[in-house]
């Protein structure tokens, strides 16, 4: 249980285009999802916290108009990188937390997706 | 604010060697502590956790004990394998942080046959 998927696993796009990354909790309802960015050989940097049905809370220094987050349902959050540029190239990882599985198990820890590698040319 | 400090890598060991990766933290209140592992090209997997002082988390031969007196959560394994090669992240989650995880900088482990 507690599986989180991301799609796509990798994407290459041209500078100036927008890219959407999906994060899904497959077997539980995630009340909260987190989006992280990871540079090569570095730690994860939290970008934003997303609660279902409300606006995302962005960390200091993260441009909310650049990185659009939507958490429309308890199993899906999306991150859209708008007008992408080469400096946006990175590994983006989501995690999901909270809620109940169909078997009635509560999860309070974060479960991570496999990540999406974005390369902007 | 809350923070996590890990020993710097990379750490290179021979197979069957003893592993210690140091982790210390600064936090208000009573945080939960975690070790995550990231294999090349993949996301993070929870390795083990401890939610209160003196708790010992363990999994796959790895152990870590929550030491409040030294604010530490060092990761240990008695005999590493080549398959343990990965990046290890220490993290904390505090009750006043809305469930956010604060990560250490990560420690790369390379195990040679």
Query: What local confidence, expressed as pLDDT, does residue A109 receive?
Result: 75
Q: How confident is the model at residue A105 (pLDDT cuts 50, 70, 90)?
A: low
**Stretch B95-109: mean pLDDT, rounded?**
82
Q: Minimal Cα distance from B47: which residue of A?
A: A111
How many angstroms separate the CA atoms of A88 and A105, rounded? 37
Q: Minimal Cα distance from A31: which residue of B?
A: B99
For B:90-109, CB contacts with A below 8 A are 93, 98-101, 103-106, 108
DSSP B48: E
Residue A103 has pLDDT above 80, yes or no: no
Residue B96 has pLDDT above 80, yes or no: no
- How far out from the chain centre does Cα A120 lie? 18
* pLDDT tens digits along A24-58: 999 888 889 999 999 887 888 999 999 888 889 99
Query: What local confidence, expressed as pLDDT, does residue A3 receive?
Result: 86
Count CA within 13 A, CB hemisphere, residue A91: 18
Query: What local confidence, expressed as pLDDT, does residue A108 receive?
Result: 66
Q: State the CB neighbour count (10 A cutoff) for residue A103.
A: 8
Backbone dihedral angles phi then psi of residue B16, each to the nearest 5 degrees: 75, 5
Residue A94 has pLDDT above 70, yes or no: yes
Tokens of A18: 């927008």
How many angstroms separate the CA atoms of B59 and A10, rounded? 30
């Amino acid at each position: 249980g507690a599986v989180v998927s991301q799609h796509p696993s990798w994407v290459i796009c041209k500078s100036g285009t927008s890219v959407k990354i999906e994060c899904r909790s497959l077997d539980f309802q995630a009340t909260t999802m987190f989006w992280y960015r990871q540079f090569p050989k570095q730690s994860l940097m939290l970008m934003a916290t997303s609660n279902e049905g409300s606006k995302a809370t962005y960390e200091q220094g993260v441009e909310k108009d650049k990185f659009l987050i939507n958490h429309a349902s308890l199993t899906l959050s999306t991150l859209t990188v708008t007008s992408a540029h080469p400096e946006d190239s990175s590994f983006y990882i989501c995690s999901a937390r909270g809620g109940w599985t169909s078997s009635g198990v509560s999860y309070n820890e974060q479960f991570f997706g496999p990540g999406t590698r974005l390369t902007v040319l | 604010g809350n923070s996590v400090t890990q020993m710097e890598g990379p750490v290179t060991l021979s197979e069957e060697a003893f592993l210690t990766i140091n982790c210390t933290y600064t936090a208000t209140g009573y945080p939960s502590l975690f070790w995550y592992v990231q294999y090349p090209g993949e996301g993070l997997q929870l390795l083990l956790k401890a939610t209160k002082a003196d708790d010992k988390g363990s999994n796959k031969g790895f152990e870590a004990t929550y030491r409040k007196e030294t604010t530490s959560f060092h990761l240990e394994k008695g005999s590493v394998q080549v398959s343990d090669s990965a990046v290890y992240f220490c993290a904390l989650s505090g009750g006043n942080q809305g469930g956010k995880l604060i990560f250490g900088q990560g420690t790369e482990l390379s195990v040679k046959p």
